[in-house]
Chains A and B, each alone.
Chain A
Amino acid sequence: MKTPTIIPDFVNRRSFIELDARARAQSLFDEGAWKELVGPFDSIESPWLAKQGVAPQSDDGCIVIKGKIGGSPAVAIAFEGAFQGGSVGEVSGAKMTAALDLATRDSEAGKPTAAVLLLETGGVRLQEANLGLAAVAEIISAAFALRQHAPVITIVAGTVGCFGGMSLVAGLSSYTIMTREARLGLNGPEVIEQESGIDEFDSSDRALIWAINGGEQRVGMGLADSLVEDDAGKIAAAVRDCVRQGVPEKHRTEQVELYRARIAALDTSRQIDPAILRQQWASTTRGVR
């Protein structure tokens, strides 16, 4: 007796989360149509980490790749979550800002160049404090300048997630793609617990954290645009779609009145649970973007 073996799709898929930042960025581009800029052999490392007894990385945890996505010019900037929590330092921040500025310059010269940001980061690198904060400010103005000419697409795939200053960058991007495993939020769960106590937010309660910061909830609330499976092929296809759509009519951060009204309409006399928030906000999100 022979029973047919059914291999579910998720066994055969190529996981995106399991790739390192460099392989993630490479997987988005058209076959053979890309090159890395300021790569590891250029050895531009953080000058600050060694002084504090921390081993640096030859690309400072920031990978910049220029090429074509779906035939259109694009640049991908990926943070390596495994190195110092994907944190933004002087060098990695400067690499991201410069890449965004060059994309803006190309776009202004008549060659619209989309940017794809792969954010696995806890935000500013504490060892480089003020320089990291300055870098986040520069990245935000660079992304803001570019999004008027070409789409800025953020991918938060997991498992680090995207928090701190870089969550602001995700917030102002034209499109945000998430997986169910990813998390997105301004303050990380551990920071909230540390500052406000375990009654406020229990950072060991994974179900609670994913119900609030998780990809499914963020997309459900309309704070991110598409929920994609952890599959390199599907994520690359989602990015191609965003590049094709171009600059959205109105960015999320231009909808100030809409979000003010939504917050004002919330009933804060009772604890709001994630499902209710999703119900209330989802219906008004459609077609807004």
Chain B
Amino acid sequence: MEKIEFNYPEAKRLITKRAHVGVVGSGDMEVLLEPNREEGSRVFITTSVNGFGDAWKAVFDRFFSKFDGAVRIYINDAGATPGSVLLRLEQAVEVIEQ
């Protein structure tokens, strides 16, 4: 198991809602997305698959190139592929932007 953290200080737009999507089942993960009280965004990942820090970084760089909300994102992961990770993140954004 590995814990990974990222900071995205440029994401500053105020967010008021929170979202929870997904299940920590094989090949899937859960996302908790909530407003960050400080400026910028922070990401906290707990994954049961070790050694994929670079892949996580690439997914979140891409995610924050489009999303500019100031949020805290918590992820519990049971081996989701980068594609499913991005889909789960987009699903969470859909919930808070509704």
Contacts and interface: CB of A to CB of B under 8 A. Distances in A.
A58 B74 contact: yes
Interface stretch (A48-56, A104-112, A217-225, A267-275): A48-56
A189 B20 CA distance: 34
Given A54-B1, A56-B24, A41 B76 contact: no
B13 to A, nearest CB: 21
A57 to B, nearest CB: 4
A57 B23 contact: yes
Contacts of A58: 20, 30, 32, 74, 76
Interface in B24-43: 24-26, 28-30, 32, 34
Contacts of B1: 50, 53-55
Contact of A57 (B26, B34, B76): B76
A54 B23 CA distance: 14
Interface centre among A20, A80, A83 (most CB of B within 10 A): A83
B32 A40 contact: yes
Contacts of B28: 82
B91 interface: no
Interface in A154-195: none
Contacts of A84: 24
A118 B34 CA distance: 28
Contacts of A40: 20, 30, 32
Interface string A32-63: 00000001110101000010011111100100
Given A40-B20, A50-B1, A82-B23, A55 B76 contact: yes
Contact of A56 (B23, B26, B32, B76): B76
A48 to B, nearest CB: 12
B48 interface: yes
Given A41-B18, A50-B1, A50-B46, A55 B24 contact: yes
Contacts of A61: 24
A43 B20 CA distance: 12
Contact of B77 (A20, A43, A55, A82): A55
Nearest to B49: A55
Contact of B48 (A20, A43, A54, A82): A54
Given A55-B77, A58-B20, A83 B25 contact: yes
Contacts of B34: 41
Interface in A119-137: none
Interface string B1-19: 1000000000000000010
Interface of B: 1, 18, 20, 23-26, 28-30, 32, 34, 46-48, 74, 76-78
Given A57-B23, A57-B24, A58-B32, 10 more contacts: A20-B23, A40-B30, A40-B32, A45-B76, A53-B1, A55-B78, A58-B74, A83-B24, A83-B25, A84-B24
6 closest Cβ contacts across the A-B interface?
A82-B25, A57-B24, A55-B48, A53-B1, A40-B20, A82-B23
16 contacts: A40-B20, A41-B18, A41-B20, A41-B32, A53-B1, A54-B1, A55-B48, A55-B76, A56-B76, A57-B24, A82-B24, A82-B28, A83-B23, A83-B24, A83-B25, A84-B24
